[in-house]
Amino acid sequence: MSTTQTRRHFLARVGSVVTAFAVPQVWIRHAAAEYVSQPWETHPLRCIGKVFVNLGQKNGCSGTGALVGPRVVLTSAHLLYDRKPEERGAYPPSVSFTPSYNKIRKMRSFPISRFFLCPGWKEEVDKGDAQDYNKSVSCDLAVLVLNAAPRTGHMGLCSDENSIPSVVQHAGYPGISNGVLFQHELDVSVNGNILFARGLKHELYAGMSGSPLYFFSNGDHYICGVHANSNNEQSSHPRITSDLVKFVKKLDEQYPS
């Protein structure tokens, strides 16, 4: 398969119902981890950055995102619309993205001009405790459009589940890293529109929402999933699917660099 075919390949649908899954009994290898203090020096790490969400009244949260187009960032939907006791389903008044965020060199922050939630996410969140776990994970995706294009380049997307290797890279900004990018390997298993993985330590959960799972193939790096949910046994990641690839391609054309 050529690079062009892999970058825009699509098979499945975003937000479709995912069947019950069985946790694999054998995981191939343990994660190899490192902190990257100067992510701007390396592709694709320079394409990954922090998503800052302003919730108003001096409240906020942060997660991770990755550029998948000149002005298009892929992240988690629950950073933008979530169920909380004090603000059920509240949309944030402002969101920004800082690629190659680090504690050494100040990088430019880009406000977003628009954001889009994966179809089905809002409906699942609004169900509260009655939401379907598998379906909510599979549509926990959001796309941000930046007000300008960073000079970092961007990553490709792969929605062909047969092209996803058993070990992928995973990079993001956990809260304990104090603003330093964390990168490691995860053993993954594909089940419908969800990637299940082990190897993400409990203390790394916060801040990794929206972080890409990716692999290298045909001379480029391709995102196959986005971190959404973790517990002590495994982490769950919505898989890149055909409708998402089509939508990102349309945004690339609508919002060029």
- By CB neighbour count within 10 A (0-12 exposed, 13-18 middle, 19+ buried), where does 243 fall? middle
pLDDT of residue 256: 85
Sequence-distant (≥ 6) Cβ neighbours of residue 130 within 8 angstroms: none
pTM: 0.84
Burial of 223 (C-beta count, 10 Å sphere; 0-12/13-18/19+): buried
DSSP secondary structure code for residue 57 in this structure: T
Query: What is the chain's length?
Result: 257
d(CA 159, CA 70) in angstroms, rounded, equals 20
What is each CA distance from 240 to 31, 69, 150, 199, 214, in whole angstroms? 22, 15, 23, 20, 10
The pLDDT, as a whole number, for residue 55 is: 73
Among 63, 22, 74, smallest CA distance to 194 is for 22
pLDDT of residue 203: 52
Find out whether 6 and 160 touch, Cβ atoms under 8 Å. yes
Q: Are 217 and 163 in contact (CB under 8 A)?
A: yes
Q: State the pLDDT at residue 91.
A: 77
Residues sharing a CB contact under 8 Å with residue 42, sequence separation 6 or more, in sequence order: 36
Tokens of 149: 């294009």
Q: Look up residue 41 and give its two tokens.
A: 């020096």
Q: Supply 202's token pair.
A: 């409990």
Instruction: Name the nearest CA neighbour of 197 among 212, 207, 182, 218.
Output: 212
* CB-CB contact of 81 with 122 (8 Å): yes
HSE-CB at 122 with a 13 A cutoff on CA atoms is 10
> What is the mean pLDDT, run by run of 10 residues, along the chain of 257 residues?
32 26 31 77 94 76 93 94 61 90 92 94 85 89 96 94 93 82 90 85 72 93 92 83 94 89
Residue 232: the pLDDT is 61
Burial of 108: CB neighbours in 10 Å, binned 0-12, 13-18, 19+: exposed
Task: Map out the domains of the chain with their CATH numbers.
Answer: 3-254 (2.40.10.120)
Token pair 């769950």 in the structure block, residue: 236
